[in-house]
Structure 1
Amino acid sequence: MAKPMRTFIAVELSESLESQLTTLQQTLSRSIPGVKWVSRDNLHVTLLFLGDVDPRDTVMICRTVQRVGSELAPFTLTVEGLGCFPNLRRPRVLWAGLTTGAETLQRLHAEIEPAMLDLRGYRREDRPYTPHVTLGRIDGEHDSEVIQNAISAKSTWHGGTCTINEILVMSSELTREGPIYTPIGRAPLTGTPTDD
């Protein structure tokens, strides 16, 4: 049997947004020490984390994503606001929020996930899907007040917008230097725009 492949489905951000997010990370790093920041090349919005899947299943995954992509037109995504998971009292993940386009991402998640439920290795999340861009991970104990103050100081932060033209199926190889993400499938958004 082939080695399982750590896999997720995502959308990429524009270079301009990546630049804005990297600048934000640098600003936050001055007031929040000890965060493992996501590298610029790895900034994205996860639609669905599939976990370790059999490489033979990637064909079905890519076909599902292509079918969904063919029914959706390109859409605008706005990145703004900051927050933490699970909450500000016990922060573990720092994230940038999404406004315009977040409902479309939730719809994509809802359309793709049912087809993935039979995959070995996939486990549905207990919490509802919340579209976001992970900025960094917090290990160990941190002063939650320091993090709250840093986030409050950037409460009106606006990163900008970009157009999402495709959905990606990605592999993730974990290394000492951090994860390496590689596209294994692309699904252009080729649906007809609607007026809603």
Structure 2
Amino acid sequence: MRCFIAIEFDENTRNTLASIQNELKNQGVQGNYTRIENLHLTLKFLGEIDMPTYLDICNLMKKVSRNHELFVLELGKLGKFDKGNKKIVWTGLLGNKHLMSLFRDIESGLEDIIPIKKESRYIPHITLIREAVLNSNDISGIEKHHKLGYSFKAPGISLMESTRVNGRLTYVRRAYENFIA
């Protein structure tokens, strides 16, 4: 299965992100919008994993989650990545030491399980649109509508499978671990 470790969002957070997407649509930004049920924060993309690896990752998630408390994340500015001719529009998250510590613990634990590419720099972001077609080269006009200051809780981590259901990209939770309270 093709998997990644993520932080999933509650309904209010998904709705807030969907309202940002709607504002982007109203500004004329076209592209492949992330479906509301697929919105998440990727901590680490794993690629294809087999069952023994899946079990090892579940154990790692248990271990890591016991060393982290629930924490709060806050939406940051909109941004874009250029991937060839295609653009990805995302919303960032404000700097968060808890998130960065969690990322480092996951990446460190994975070293003993699967060959991973160490991130030179982790840029926490939530993908809103893939293959975005922007009217101009920047998104500064869109930023005035952005929900800066919106905060939400990160209660745990999920192991997600990326699959297609009836031809649609779907993320299915395969494991979940709460942080300590």
TM-score by length of 2: 0.86
Tell me the distance in 2 between the aligned counterparts of 1:14 and 1:70: 21
Does the 8 Å contact 1:76/1:163 carry over to 2? Answer: yes
Q: For structure 2, list consecutive stretches of 5 or more residues without a partner in the other structure.
A: none
Superposition map of 1:44-83 within 5 A: 44-83=40-79
Give 1:187's aligned residue.
Answer: 177
Does residue 62 of structure 2 align to residue 29 of structure 1?
no
Q: What's the CA shift string for 1:113-147, capped at 9, x where partnerless?
A: 12323555x541655111111111126x65443x4
Does residue 160 of structure 2 align to residue 164 of structure 1?
no
SS at match of 2:117: coil
Tell me the distance in 1 between the aligned counterparts of 2:50 and 2:91: 32
Tell me the distance in 2 between the aligned counterparts of 1:105 and 1:31: 31
Give 2:93's aligned residue.
Answer: 98
Give 2:131's aligned residue.
Answer: 138
SS at match of 2:90: strand
Tell me the distance in 2 between the aligned counterparts of 1:75 and 1:126: 22
Does residue 163 of structure 2 align to residue 173 of structure 1?
yes
What is the letter of the counterpart of residue 108 of structure 1? L
Task: Provide closer, same or farther for how the CA distance between residues 119 and 144 of structure 1 changes in structure 2, counting only shifts above 3 A.
Answer: farther
Q: For structure 1, list consecutive stretches of 5 or more residues without a partner in the other structure.
A: 192-196
Question: Alignment identity in percent?
Answer: 27
TM-align CA RMSD: 2.5
How many residues are paired up? 180
TM-score by length of 1: 0.80
Tell me the distance in 2 between the aligned counterparts of 1:110 and 1:18: 26
Task: Provide closer, same or farther for how the CA distance between residues 99 and 142 of structure 1 changes in structure 2, counting only shifts above 3 A.
Answer: closer
